[in-house]
Structure 1
Amino acid sequence: MKKVLILLLTMVMAIGLAACGTSEKASKAGEGKKVLVMGTSADYAPFEYIETEKSDEIIGFDVDLAKAIAGKLGYKVEVKDMEFNGLVQALKSGQADFVLAGMTPTEKRKKNVDFSDIYYTAGFMIVSKKDSGINKLEDLKGKTVGVQLGSIQEGQAKEIAKTIDIKIEDRNRIPDLIQEIKSGRFDSAIIEDTVAKGYLTNEKDLAGFTFEAKGVEGSAIAFPKNSDLTEKFNQELKKMKENGELDKLVVKWFGGEQK
Structure 2
Amino acid sequence: MTRRTITRLTATVAAIAALGLAVTGCAAGGASAGGSNELGTISAGTLRIGTTGDTKPYAYTQDGELQGFDVEMAKEVAKRLGLKTEFVTQEFSALLPAVANGQLDMAAASISDTTEREKTVDFSEHYFIGYISVLASTKSGITDDESSLKGKRLGIVQGTIQDSYAQENFTGAELVRFPDNNSAVAALNSGTIDAHFLDFPVAEDYAAASNGTQKIAINVAVPEFPVGFPIKKGNDALKKAVDDAVKDIVADGTWLEIDQKYFPDQPVPDEFQPTK
Instruction: Give TM-score, length-normalised by structure 2.
Output: 0.80
Does the 8 Å CA contact 1:156/1:214 hold for their aligned counterparts?
Answer: no
Task: Tell me the residue number matched to 2:268.
Answer: 258
Letter in 1 for 2:86: E
Range moving further from structure 2, 203-212 or 99-108: 203-212
Task: Deviation per CA, 1:136-164: give whole Å up to 9, x if none.
Answer: 311111111110011110011101244x2
Task: Deviation per CA, 1:40-79: give whole Å up to 9, x if none.
Answer: 111111010001xx2x221011111111122112112111
Percentage of pairs with the same residue:
27
Range moving further from structure 2, 18-27 or 240-249: 18-27
Counterparts of 2:264 and 2:189, CA distance in 1: 27
Q: Which 4+ stretches in 1 moved above 6 angstroms?
A: 10-23
Does the 8 Å CA contact 1:145/1:187 hold for their aligned counterparts?
Answer: yes
Letter in 1 for 2:183: D
Task: Tell me the residue number matched to 1:203.
Answer: 210
Q: 2:121 aligns with which of 89, 113, 117?
A: 113
Counterparts of 1:236 and 1:21, CA distance in 2: 34
Task: Tell me the residue number matched to 1:190.
Answer: 197
Counterparts of 1:191 and 1:126, CA distance in 2: 7
Structure 1: tracts of 5 or more residues without a match: 1-9
Counterparts of 2:68 and 2:220, CA distance in 1: 26
Letter in 1 for 2:111: M
The 3 A distance-change label for structure 1 pair 138 and 119 is: same
The structural deviation recorded for 1:211 is 3.4
The 3 A distance-change label for structure 1 pair 241 and 159 is: same
Matches within 5 A, 1:148-167: 148-162=157-171, 164=172, 166-167=173-174
The structural deviation recorded for 1:195 is 1.5
Matches within 5 A, 1:44-123: 44-51=55-62, 54=63, 56-123=64-131
Does the 8 Å CA contact 1:144/1:169 hold for their aligned counterparts?
Answer: yes
Task: Tell me the residue number matched to 1:35.
Answer: 46
Letter in 2 for 1:193: F
The structural deviation recorded for 1:208 is 1.1
Structure 2: tracts of 5 or more residues without a match: 1-8, 33-44, 270-276
Letter in 1 for 2:52: S
Counterparts of 1:19 and 1:177, CA distance in 2: 57
Letter in 2 for 1:32: A
1:127 paired with 2:138, answer no
Count of paired positions:
252
Letter in 1 for 2:205: G
Task: Tell me the residue number matched to 1:240.
Answer: 249
Q: CA RMSD in A?
A: 2.8
